Structure 1
Amino acid sequence: MENDPPPLCEARPVDPTKDMFNWVGSIRGPDDSPFQGGTFRLAIRFPTDFPFKPPRVHFTTRVYHPNISPQGDICLDILQDKWLPVLTIRTVLLSLCSLLTDPNPEHGLDNDILQVYRTNKKMYEENAKEWTKKYAMENQETLP
């Protein structure tokens, strides 16, 4: 991560002297997306058998997105059944950036947002921009 950080993303151990399995990360909202200008925080927990099992990643910043639950859980195949030991946290962060700008309309974690995304993309983008302003800029509100 230090030698080749992904664009718009960062991740690091919370306390490298005590626990190398517990990390925090962030993704800056991609330009020309409804998330532009926001910073979305992540909690990242590596299992003891990493890289053979995927890290547990969830957003701690609220995100208006059909593939992210109200609790910050993420519907992303590489964090589930498509994980491969060759994948890295860099790959995960880049995939999350891509997911922000390109939601998967087939698998949602928030059915209300998924319905808006499927039927009214303009309203989806307006709502996502509003949530980004409210939760991901300056005075960030994190999930409970």
Structure 2
Amino acid sequence: MEMNRFTLNFNIYVGVMIRLFKVKEKQRELAENANGGAPTKKQSPGELRLHKDISELNLPKSCAITFPNGKDNLMNFEVSIRPDEGYYFGGTFLFSFQVSPVYPHEAPKVKCKTKVYHPNIDLEGNVCLNILREDWKPVLNINTIIYGLYHLFTEPNYEDPLNHEAAAVLRDNPKMFESNVRRAMSGGYVGQTFFPRCV
């Protein structure tokens, strides 16, 4: 009986606190609007976390982030990667990021906008990076993803391919793979597929 009374009182207390919080929030919005400020759009938890991630970015010199839709749409942005070593040295590769409002509980959707001859990126721009799929955890962040993408260019992985043909060439004939990458990056054909210049 004593426990039920405690639970009831606690629930009433929580209900009152929630109502008070909502009233305070409404008063704050009204005050901001009265001061001539634009009505504030409530940010999703994903937006708040993304702001934090972006403010803490620590990218290598070979990576850059841009916001083509301006500061009003931080949930969609682009990252360019210019590897300074390895097979893809000198190329510039552009990735689009779409971040969900439930981020970081869901990994961003990442696509490669540059057509590239790569074992872990298919011709439609889908990226095979384990932290964007089954190994995603909310403690990971945008910085981690960008480093993961950069790592795909410095050490492509033929064991987990999306482009099986490129993976087989990398595995069986690394010299030919290097030649194919150079040809593709210079704007040329590899087999029947044309790759626009990206160097």
Fold match (TM-score > 0.5): yes
Higher helix fraction: Structure 1 or Structure 2? 2
5+ residue gaps, structure 1, are 138-144
Q: Secondary structure at the match of 1:41?
A: strand
Structure 2 match to 1:21: 75
Deviation at 1:2, TM superposition (A): 5.5
Aligned equivalents of 1:76, 1:130: Cα separation in 2: 24
Q: In the TM superposition, what whole-angstrom CA distance separates every residue of 1:12-56 from its partner, at most 9, and x where no partner exists?
A: 33224432211111000232x121111101111001111111111
| Higher radius of gyration, 1 or 2 | 2
Q: Is contact 1:34-1:132 (8 Å) kept?
A: no
Structure 2 match to 1:55: 108
Structure 1 match to 2:131: 78
Higher strand fraction: Structure 1 or Structure 2? 1
Q: Is contact 1:54-1:80 (8 Å) kept?
A: yes
Structure 2 match to 1:129: 182
Aligned equivalents of 1:2, 1:126: Cα separation in 2: 39
Percent sequence identity over aligned pairs: 33
Deviation at 1:89, TM superposition (A): 1.1
Deviation at 1:4, TM superposition (A): 4.1
Give the superposed CA RMSD: 1.6
Aligned equivalents of 1:104, 1:124: Cα separation in 2: 12
Q: Secondary structure at the match of 1:19?
A: coil
Q: Secondary structure at the match of 2:179?
A: helix
TM-score where L is the length of structure 2 = 0.64
Runs of 4+ in structure 1 over 3 Å off:
1-5
Aligned equivalents of 1:131, 1:34: Cα separation in 2: 11
Aligned equivalents of 1:49, 1:104: Cα separation in 2: 30
In structure 2, relative to structure 1, the CA distance for the partners of 1:93 and 1:114 (3 Å cut) is same
Q: Secondary structure at the match of 2:120?
A: coil
Q: Secondary structure at the match of 2:74?
A: strand
Q: In the TM superposition, what whole-angstrom CA distance separates every residue of 1:63-102 from its partner, at most 9, and x where no partner exists?
A: 1110100011111100001011111111111111111121
Q: Is contact 2:157-2:167 (8 Å) kept?
A: no
